């Protein structure tokens, strides 16, 4: 099918963008909700 190649490229681009964003999000493991809420007030 002629649409499979372009669809796979679009899917791969979205997966790449998602991977970049997952590395840019800061780690929140071990932090309480209060610590996360006050993180921008430092």
pLDDT of residue 42: 55
Which three-class secondary structure string do you get for the chain? CCCHHHHHHHHHHHHHHHHHHHHHCCCCCCCCHHHHHCHHHC
CB of 28 closer than 8 Å to CB of 36:
yes
Q: Is the dihedral of CA 6, 10, 15, 19 positive or negative?
A: positive
pTM assigned to the model: 0.60
Domain map (residue ranges) of the chain? 4-41
**What digits encode the pLDDT tens for the residues 1-42?**
899 999 999 999 999 999 999 999 888 888 899 888 887 765
The burial class, CB within 10 Å (0-12 / 13-18 / 19+), for 28 is exposed
pLDDT of residue 28: 85
């Amino acid at each position: 099918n002629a649409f499979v190649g372009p669809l796979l490229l679009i899917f791969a681009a979205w997966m790449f963008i998602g991977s970049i964003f997952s590395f840019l999000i800061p780690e929140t493991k071990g932090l309480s909700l209060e610590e996360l809420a006050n993180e921008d007030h430092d």
